[in-house]
Amino acid sequence: MIQRIRIGTRRGVCLVAGMVALALRGGPVGPWDRDILYKTPRCFEAAEFATNGVTTVFYESEPYQGRATRVFAYYGLPAGASSAKKVPGIVLIHGGGGSAFVHWVKLWNSRGYAAISMDTCGAVSGNAYGHEQKGHRRHAWSGPPGWGGFDNYDDPVADQWTYHAVAAAVRGHSLLRSLPEVDASRVATLMFGKPALRDRDEEEVRGYRDALRLIHESSARLAISEETIKRLHHLCRGQIWDAGAYKEKDVDIIQTYAEGRSRVRFKTVPASQTPAAMAELVELWQRGMAETWAPPIVLAAALNLDFLCVHPFRDGNGRVSHLLLLLATYHCGIEIGRYISLERLIEENKERYYEVLEQSSQRWHEGKHDPWPAMNFFLFILAQAAREFEQRLGQIKTPKGAKTALIEHAIDALGEFGIADLERRCPAVSRDMIRHLLRTLKAAGRVECLGRGPGAKWRNKGNTPKGGKNKGNNQGN
């Protein structure tokens, strides 16, 4: 197909989530005492709320208005977990209107994880009373009420719901890590009930992360070749028996409907022809980049479409295609994928993604397909990533005084200078700000002007040679 181009040329909970992530990563954590939060909290029996298959507890948390508080929680372990066979853990943090959920803990236990689900609003889950649908009752050791309310935002920080919610989540994390059956180095958080791992095997998740790191750190040295493509597949498929190997049997793309019927959406390249097809795919990419048949970013989109039509692996082709697209954009000089996940944007538009792939794959084997629906989609994804990056960048404000410090540093380094010299050293600073600061520094006796007009030179008095005399005392423009 590359050859064809040549021819045709909820707000509160989000705040808590961010704070929890920050606290668990380490570093400054605002008003919380991290050393205390990281200690295993003292636990209290909650036998009256016992549920089969999990442990029900209260654990200590932050004081509220001078009295001790406790957090209600469920935690459980998967079958077979022991101190000799440790398991990964996951901390389950509910969203608005939620509480501790026993079925959530059991779900993750069934997937092989130790799990804890705590209430962050000073309540006992309605589930513990046998009628979750009737709501969650506050208990005698509760802190401030929550479920998304910010009525206490004017209260002292230690009396606010967000303060206590974050502490409850981090202490739950510490409790889970303390269990002898849990691998403390493999405990993560899950918020709002949406599985961050998307049911992938943990080894594959780690492998995909390693593949991303490889691309981000080594893209300039990582050629787009069959060897690289197989390496990416091997990484993101973990320990699967055929990781890094082309398919041995024909694999077609099947669509299954809700009523049970299915159809072949696309017949991929037969297994026997896959090595030759992949060799041609790589050769066309390399020739296209060298001979500039089309803009590089168009070639990157074409490469991705061809890869998906060849479908070289038994499984995992979608993930490898996302990695290949990321690597190709790096080779085009576009690094937006370093900051914005292209895979996430494709996932958010997956219905359209499947539609355009079907449109562009029709008659692909005969070389008479229309590549542009798919290619326009990939270009749309890159444009979306750029817009999202601009929005994020616009939310970052320069710390107060940073530009002043930048100018002063340039003055110290230059000694004698002109306004144009400072502009070159400080491209993010306006000329008006430079002039304003020079007037302020001159009034303070720290710099002097050596002439008149826009080209006048200035001198840092700290760098004035001994015995030197002032040659002027006029304000430069």
Q: Residue 7 above 50 pLDDT? A: no
Residue 38: inside a domain: yes
Which one has a higher pLDDT value, 234 or 473?
Answer: 234
Residue 165: inside a domain: yes
Percent of the chain with pLDDT over 70: 80
Which one has a higher pLDDT value, 15 or 370?
Answer: 370
The mean pLDDT value for 264-280 works out to 92
Residues 371 and 458 grouped into a single domain: no
Residues 365 and 441 grouped into a single domain: no
Residue 459: inside a domain: yes
- Choosing from 149, 171, 197, the residue where a domain stops is 197
Residue 81: inside a domain: yes
Residue 6: inside a domain: no
Q: Residue 150 above 50 pLDDT? A: yes
Residue 3: inside a domain: no
DSSP states of 1-69 as a string? -HHHHHHH--HHHHHHHHHHHHHHH-S--TTS-HHHHTSPPPEEE-GGG--TTSEEEEEE---BTTB--
Which CATH number do you get for residue 107? Answer: 3.40.50
pTM for the structure as a whole:
0.47
Yes or no: say if 177 and 187 are a contact pair by the CB < 8 Å rule.
yes
Give the type of residue at 83.
S
Residues 89 and 53 grouped into a single domain: yes
Which residues, in sequence order, are bridge partners of residue 55?
75
Q: Residue 25 above 90 pLDDT? A: no
Residues 121 and 245 grouped into a single domain: no
Residues 292 and 435 grouped into a single domain: no
Cα 470 from Cα 162, distance rounded (Å): 60
Cα 42 from Cα 27, distance rounded (Å): 24
Which one has a higher pLDDT value, 112 or 395?
Answer: 112
Q: Residue 262 above 70 pLDDT? A: yes
Which one has a higher pLDDT value, 127 or 235?
Answer: 235
pLDDT, position 141 = 86
b/e 8-32 (16+ beta carbons within 10 angstroms → b): eeeebbeebbebbeebbeeeebeeb
Select from 238, 243, 246, 303 the least CA-distant residue to 274: 246
Q: Residue 32 above 80 pLDDT? A: no
Residues 313 and 179 grouped into a single domain: no
pLDDT band, residue 400 (cuts 50/70/90) = low
Other Cβ atoms less than 10 A from the Cβ of 46: the count is 20
Cα 437 from Cα 406, distance rounded (Å): 11
The CA-based diameter of the chain, rounded to the nearest angstrom, is 95
Residues 175 and 220 grouped into a single domain: no
pLDDT, position 197 = 41
> Domains in the chain: how many in total?
3
pLDDT, position 202 = 59
The mean pLDDT value for 366-375 works out to 92
Least confident of 128-137, 264-273, 281-290, 439-448: 128-137
- Choosing from 394, 414, 432, the residue where a domain stops is 394
The mean pLDDT value for 317-330 works out to 94
pLDDT band, residue 399 (cuts 50/70/90) = low
Residue 473: inside a domain: no
Residues 184 and 235 grouped into a single domain: no
Which CATH number do you get for residue 320? Answer: 1.10.3290.10
Which one has a higher pLDDT value, 16 or 421?
Answer: 421
Residues 363 and 438 grouped into a single domain: no
> Pairing state of beta strands 87-93 and 182-191?
parallel
Residues 145 and 39 grouped into a single domain: yes
Which CATH number do you get for residue 416? Answer: 1.10.10.10
pLDDT band, residue 204 (cuts 50/70/90) = low
pLDDT, position 198 = 41
pLDDT, position 126 = 66
Token pair for 24: 């668990």
Instruction: State which residues form the domain around 247.
Output: 204-394
pLDDT, position 290 = 93
Q: What is the pLDDT of residues 84-139, one digit of tens each?
A: 989 999 898 877 667 888 888 888 888 888 999 988 888 887 655 444 434 578 88
Residues 35 and 101 grouped into a single domain: yes
Computed over every residue of the chain, the mean pLDDT equals 80
- Choosing from 138, 167, 197, the residue where a domain stops is 197
Q: Residue 214 above 70 pLDDT? A: yes
pLDDT band, residue 70 (cuts 50/70/90) = very high
For the four alpha carbons of 286, 289, 292 and 298, in that order, the dihedral sign comes to: positive
Q: Please tell me the total number of residues recorded for the chain in this structure.
A: 477
Give every CB contact of residue 42 below 8 A, 6+ residues apart in sequence: 59, 60
pLDDT, position 96 = 63
Residues 48 and 182 grouped into a single domain: yes
Q: Residue 176 above 70 pLDDT? A: yes
Q: Residue 432 above 80 pLDDT? A: yes
The mean pLDDT value for 369-381 works out to 92
The mean pLDDT value for 392-416 works out to 76
Residue 157: inside a domain: yes
Cα 83 from Cα 179, distance rounded (Å): 9
